[in-house]
């Protein structure tokens, strides 16, 4: 890098700009990859994601919220124990901090809905009680996560979310936030 010229870095900057524009396509590829994951559930993680986004969309949530609902589990394949953190990191430049916090912490908040059966701590989310996004995360899990494994649910097709994801991920609006 020390030997790079201005022309070299101009070339790299143009290539990176094109690569960033292709982020929505890579996100959709990751989402499609969930079609084969987690055998045993009544619906695939892919269908779970469609149900989550469909419910959020039908409830009139913002485009950022709908995109987050659609993509909140794409990290399951590579980071099964920290998938929320992984996905929140991807979203952080494009999606409001509160929504990213919800995505980052939804895994522990989900335990409230199933922990009594699996032996997980149903009160684990209490560690975050008092955080400004606590109630919003609890609501996300109740309305757009734990109930989105319904084999009878009429989900919108993935293509209907393409304009939303393309809009949300077209320009980073939250680069300076963490």
Delimit the domains of the chain by residue range.
6-168
CATH code that applies to domain 6-168:
1.10.3210.10
- Count the Cβ atoms, other than its own, within 10 Å of residue 147: 14
> Three-state SS for 5?
coil
Q: Which residues contact 22 (CB under 8 A, 6 or more apart)?
A: none
Of 25, 26, 33, 57, the residue nearest 148 (C-alpha): 57
What is the Cα–Cα distance from 42 to 45, expressed in whole angstroms?
10
Each residue's pLDDT, cut to its tens digit, for the chain (178 residues) gives 888 888 888 888 888 888 888 999 999 999 999 998 766 778 999 999 999 999 999 999 999 999 999 999 999 989 989 999 999 999 999 999 999 999 999 999 999 999 899 999 999 999 999 999 999 999 999 999 999 999 999 999 999 999 999 999 999 999 875 5
Whole-structure pTM value: 0.92
């Amino acid at each position: 890098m020390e030997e790079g010229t201005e022309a070299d870095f101009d070339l790299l900057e143009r290539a990176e700009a094109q690569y960033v524009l292709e982020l929505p396509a890579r996100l959709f590829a990751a989402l499609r990859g969930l079609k084969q994951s987690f055998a045993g559930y009544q619906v695939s993680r892919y269908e779970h994601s469609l149900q989550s986004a469909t419910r959020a969309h039908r409830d009139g949530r913002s485009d950022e919220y709908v995109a987050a609902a659609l993509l909140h589990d794409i990290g399951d394949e590579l980071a099964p124990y920290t998938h929320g953190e992984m996905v929140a990191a991807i979203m952080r430049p494009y999606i409001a901090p509160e929504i990213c916090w919800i995505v980052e912490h939804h895994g522990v908040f989900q335990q409230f809905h199933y922990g009594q059966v699996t032996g997980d701590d149903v009160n684990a989310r209490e560690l975050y009680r008092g955080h400004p996004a606590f109630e919003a995360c609890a609501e996300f899990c109740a309305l757009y996560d734990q109930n989105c494994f319904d084999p009878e649910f009429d989900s919108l097709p993935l293509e209907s979310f393409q304009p939303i994801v393309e809009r949300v991920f077209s320009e980073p609006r939250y680069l300076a936030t963490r």
